[in-house]
Structure 1
């Protein structure tokens, strides 16, 4: 490769782009954003690209290859911090227009163009590749191509939603954009998004050769792309897409997927410039919504939690004691994620069901059957606890009984390596009650997972005064390897998630005991935006588990426990027994129909949600987490609290702390002191402007 591109770009000071002219006449334009480890489109980078494209139009090469100068990947998308700033200034329209204009210049070049994709290719990265005539992707397993904007409350606005349906056909394109799902190179090739898959070392050569030679897409792909974007097809397919989306998210909470479908239905058959104009108008409107602002904020919260897990955890072997639902699933998931795991319990009959569940997890998660035996071999039944001396991390997941846990630690800790970590998966017991006889308290912590382990993204790292900071760092790094979000919390009763969730569930049980139908209670919570209602949630976690948490938390919070949670009948613990408050069939609750003409109490939503908000304020006041952002992140990812609302504290800011205090006062007057405002409502963080 020779660098004779200097004349073409004479006088240009390109900080983010490097050009090299190959011997075969193809020009490689590498995106290498200055002072950044990852490529993301800033406006500066777009302006430079626009300027470079103007020069290329004047003196076009035989072909143009768009590539990344970063080993970390292709392009992660747009710079979201910059996007937030544009939103604050009201200049989102200008930012989107610039991206559209620049990519359209690329699409209109007189020479063939190709994107050479390796590693992550997300959002704007996928959109610039769509503006090229061809796309070649690296066969490396790290290559993932996606348009995840819907997860941020918007949809692709730099031409992605305008071009993708006309490239791969509307069904595949809309599925990709409506779910935000990323595709492997092979899967992208399968739908026609990628023209060729190449070995990593040959990526640029393959891309240049393809652009110089050209290729014609198969007739079937061309017909699919044309036929599914006709007026008749759009009229037929759009309502079906709306129905599918409505099964997952309501339009009032998540307008982006509905706006995407509507924009495609109205404009999908028009020329590209009209499609771009419709796309821009819809995305600008969405960008100003509270949903988009909150979802983008949550994105940054996830990045913050990921950053907690820096460095190597120094954990290879995990030993789990307690093969119940939680312990067994913790062990199986760790094995799936690459750790060597030993699973111990008092009797083999307790371990066997966990091993069976683990096989089901591996069959579901490991798509290649040939790789399943290797994954399964990492999980070993260990009745005698032979894995303890070799373990880097011991996770205790036995019954919620402080005496039983302390006795276990006394027998296990002397057998552990000196640098190994001992953790408990307790859901509510304060760590100060558990660490009294531990020889190395600096290496003892809580590691609280949520059920179901394979699905819930949060893990609470519970600390105490004697815990070492290095212990927290290692556990955060371990969580990161698991693909979980770690949130450090104080070791007070209930920690963060259960403490916030408990008053909400308790009030639901109280309302149910008063005669409010369970289905009405659940409906009110789901209407607010919770993923499931609190009565269904109690059955899902188990009435026995809820009763155990009640025993710990009710005295601490000064709350009374209704009979349904105080006494649990054998065989009626909820979903796991097929019978609880509801009867369960095939993993789903059979909720009795509401009586004809039944109208739920006007204050039912407030009765459920305000206790949750009240306790969130108290947790912030008590320092359970370090700040409001981590509190919101923990409650969202630990309870499913309506993401579009941004978390409890963000919701308080949006509605107004004083307005919510007035509603609490009304409930207090009507129902009693359990609705009295908790300490912390005078915190200035509750009255910060909503971003």
Structure 2
């Protein structure tokens, strides 16, 4: 049939079928679809034609689909954000997009969004402007607003439209947390109208939705009541209380700006959209948003470090302590078959029990939990070594023990298998001394808690080739971790910079300063937890071992040494510098202090100083890698962009 004349586009394609249904497909350059300024301008021209073709009866509706396997639309094009933060450009661009999405909403013909894979940020905002939404109900589909992680909130009308669909409480929660929803949860919140089992069903259901003029319904009155009358300010107050538990307004202004917008306009979703521009613009160019974009790009850059080709199906972990057991559990969670070795089942069983708790927490369905449990196998005799694609040693930090393990391992591994140590401080060259092929040993240094901290330091010795390190980075990426390549040197990157910071705080506490005050000061500066609490979390025995390896011996007779001698090793034993109950440090009153953040900056100075030294020594390739490594490995304030960026900006 003759196709209607359409504008020329680079990011979209359009066809009309025999039933006069229009099929609009987004397929932007690059691995994922994004809404760049050019893509939005092209969509403007297309919507103008839809208005004309709908008026003349040449099309009866439009179904919007993605041409990419990766998903629907991952959001706005973050690479344009720096240019867009210009106050002379941004307001007009936002208003133009608002007007476009309103025109889509006001089309006389139905426009239906068919969603698979990622539907995030601006992509979800576009879908919400459509009249009806269909999503594939599988594990790859994720729906949400991650903008808060970039120091902003939805700016294409998503604030008001999500409140219209999901109600104020649910909508605000997903915007404030940046949480990505599975399709069932999105359907339960009314962000999606229908679920289908497979991607190839989107066209059929989209067709039916157009021909029957399906329209999404708004949230019921019982949900909308939470934004009406005095309830609105009450709800806003509760949201501020929750936000304050996670982040300070001066560090992360976006959640608070969104709550302020809600308190002004949450009872009128159209007014909420109109208010977006004035509230959004100051955030985009803020130091927090600028630094969070930097962190985003640095994190994305880490994904390019692994070589292509290696497949990892089987992992063998030696050492079922906290680190080894949790590494094994994480690999099983990520779909790999894992064998876990230690001297006997008595040592392995606690790790299996912890793993099951992790699986129950992270996997929502019983059969998924059961499958993960089946993938993690106790292996006291080490028979899994010969079949493993990756073998990771995670035993005590004693050189001779590690040397013995790898000497016995070397002849048992299959060709091409990765042989790795999780040592936290010992140089690889020393561990590899006893090996026939020392080049085969690499470091894969995970961080505690393994399930929460995304960093894996890929340790390179003087023996290693680019290929061996590339394989190690590829494995880290395969289990959903972020690899940073570092040179084999005492403490590597993260422990090297953490130790002076933690030990400095411990010394101050030993001299009588309040440990609660020291921890509160570090948090006021922007750290996720204070240095004393962190030492307890790491484990005092581990802290002492790393400190000694780095030339900072723990003084005999100190409280630190006494706690270790009495078996009070921190969180894992229930007591260290603090007592621990249900995984939480039991803290006393925090003394008043005139400049809490200033004290925190003073505490963090040794960490920043050491990061500079590490870069100058070539332990990491450059300052950017040092910044992202320290952020991912220690939680160093992302809103500051990393320790070296913070120092450059005069903030650390």
Q: Check whether the contact 2:87–2:281 (CA below 8 A) recurs between aligned residues.
A: no
For residues 104-183 of structure 1, the aligned pairs below 5 Å read 104-183=102-181
For residues 345-494 of structure 1, the aligned pairs below 5 Å read 345-494=342-491
Question: Structure 2: how far apart are the matches of 1:601 and 1:72?
Answer: 46
Q: Check whether the contact 1:298–1:646 (CA below 8 A) recurs between aligned residues.
A: yes
Partner SS, residue 447 of structure 1: strand
1:625 aligns with 2:620: yes
Aligned to 2:209: 210
1:39 aligns with 2:33: yes
Q: Check whether the contact 2:158–2:273 (CA below 8 A) recurs between aligned residues.
A: no
Aligned to 1:187: 185
Aligned to 2:256: 258
Q: Check whether the contact 2:316–2:338 (CA below 8 A) recurs between aligned residues.
A: yes
Q: Give the TM-score, by structure 1 length.
A: 0.90
Question: Structure 1: how far apart are the matches of 2:421 and 2:285?
Answer: 43
Question: Structure 2: how far apart are the matches of 1:403 and 1:579?
Answer: 30
Partner SS, residue 59 of structure 1: helix
Aligned to 1:305: 302
Question: Structure 2: how far apart are the matches of 1:330 and 1:113?
Answer: 47
Q: Check whether the contact 1:5–1:19 (CA below 8 A) recurs between aligned residues.
A: no
Structure 2 residue corresponding to 1:86, chosen from 79, 84, 106: 84
For residues 672-683 of structure 1, the aligned pairs below 5 Å read none
Structure 1 unaligned regions, length at least 5? 661-691
Q: Check whether the contact 1:19–1:29 (CA below 8 A) recurs between aligned residues.
A: yes
Question: Structure 2: how far apart are the matches of 1:130 and 1:204?
Answer: 18
1:506 aligns with 2:503: yes
Q: Check whether the contact 1:166–1:229 (CA below 8 A) recurs between aligned residues.
A: no
Question: Structure 2: how far apart are the matches of 1:462 and 1:300?
Answer: 22
Q: Which moved more, 1:583-592 or 1:329-338?
A: 583-592
Question: Structure 2: how far apart are the matches of 1:606 and 1:69?
Answer: 49
Structure 2 residue corresponding to 1:583, chosen from 553, 562, 579: 579
Question: Structure 2: how far apart are the matches of 1:227 and 1:403?
Answer: 67
Question: Structure 2: how far apart are the matches of 1:498 and 1:554?
Answer: 12
How much does 1:651 deviate?
A: 0.2
How much does 1:364 deviate?
A: 1.9
Aligned to 2:603: 608
Q: Which moved more, 1:361-370 or 1:173-182?
A: 361-370
Aligned to 1:681: none
Aligned to 1:592: 588
Question: Structure 2: how far apart are the matches of 1:603 and 1:177?
Answer: 31
Aligned to 2:15: 20
**Shift in CA distance, 528/45, structure 1 to aligned 2, threshold 3 Å:** same
Residue by residue over 1:349-370, the C-alpha shift from the partner in whole angstroms, topping out at 9 and shown as x without a partner, is 2122212222222222222112
Question: Structure 1: how far apart are the matches of 2:129 and 2:15?
Answer: 20
Partner SS, residue 151 of structure 1: helix
**Shift in CA distance, 89/260, structure 1 to aligned 2, threshold 3 Å:** closer
Q: Check whether the contact 1:96–1:280 (CA below 8 A) recurs between aligned residues.
A: yes
Q: Give the TM-score, by structure 2 length.
A: 0.95
Residue by residue over 1:458-505, the C-alpha shift from the partner in whole angstroms, topping out at 9 and shown as x without a partner, is 110000111121111111111112111111011100000000111100
Structure 1 residue corresponding to 2:43, chosen from 41, 49, 53: 49
Question: Structure 2: how far apart are the matches of 1:349 and 1:70?
Answer: 49
Question: Structure 2: how far apart are the matches of 1:521 and 1:300?
Answer: 32
How much does 1:413 deviate?
A: 1.1
Structure 2 residue corresponding to 1:569, chosen from 552, 557, 565: 565
Residue by residue over 1:216-246, the C-alpha shift from the partner in whole angstroms, topping out at 9 and shown as x without a partner, is 6568x43245434434442232111111211
How much does 1:284 deviate?
A: 0.7
Aligned to 1:59: 53
Q: Which moved more, 1:614-623 or 1:575-584?
A: 575-584
**Shift in CA distance, 565/607, structure 1 to aligned 2, threshold 3 Å:** farther
**Shift in CA distance, 383/226, structure 1 to aligned 2, threshold 3 Å:** closer
Q: Check whether the contact 1:314–1:474 (CA below 8 A) recurs between aligned residues.
A: no
Aligned to 2:200: 201
Residue by residue over 1:14-54, the C-alpha shift from the partner in whole angstroms, topping out at 9 and shown as x without a partner, is 22211111222221111122x32321011111111101111
Question: Structure 1: how far apart are the matches of 2:632 and 2:601?
Answer: 22
Partner SS, residue 154 of structure 1: coil
How much does 1:312 deviate?
A: 3.6
- CA-atom RMSD in angstroms: 2.1
**Shift in CA distance, 302/561, structure 1 to aligned 2, threshold 3 Å:** farther
**Shift in CA distance, 583/259, structure 1 to aligned 2, threshold 3 Å:** same
Question: Structure 2: how far apart are the matches of 1:561 and 1:615?
Answer: 25
Partner SS, residue 584 of structure 1: strand
The aligned length equals 646
Question: Structure 2: how far apart are the matches of 1:311 and 1:523?
Answer: 44
Aligned to 1:638: 633
How much does 1:604 deviate?
A: 3.6
Q: Check whether the contact 2:490–2:496 (CA below 8 A) recurs between aligned residues.
A: yes
**Shift in CA distance, 217/79, structure 1 to aligned 2, threshold 3 Å:** closer
Structure 2 residue corresponding to 1:234, chosen from 232, 251, 267: 232
Question: Structure 2: how far apart are the matches of 1:223 and 1:601?
Answer: 45
Partner SS, residue 279 of structure 1: helix
1:245 aligns with 2:243: yes
Q: Which moved more, 1:90-99 or 1:537-546?
A: 90-99
How much does 1:566 deviate?
A: 4.5
**Shift in CA distance, 295/206, structure 1 to aligned 2, threshold 3 Å:** same
Q: Which moved more, 1:526-535 or 1:101-110?
A: 101-110
1:286 aligns with 2:283: yes
Q: Check whether the contact 2:547–2:554 (CA below 8 A) recurs between aligned residues.
A: no
**Shift in CA distance, 288/561, structure 1 to aligned 2, threshold 3 Å:** farther
Question: Structure 2: how far apart are the matches of 1:309 and 1:599?
Answer: 48
Residue by residue over 1:231-263, the C-alpha shift from the partner in whole angstroms, topping out at 9 and shown as x without a partner, is 444223211111121121111111111111111
Q: Check whether the contact 2:131–2:216 (CA below 8 A) recurs between aligned residues.
A: no
Residue by residue over 1:184-229, the C-alpha shift from the partner in whole angstroms, topping out at 9 and shown as x without a partner, is 222211111111112321202211311331346568x432454344
1:654 aligns with 2:652: no
Question: Structure 1: how far apart are the matches of 2:449 and 2:77?
Answer: 34
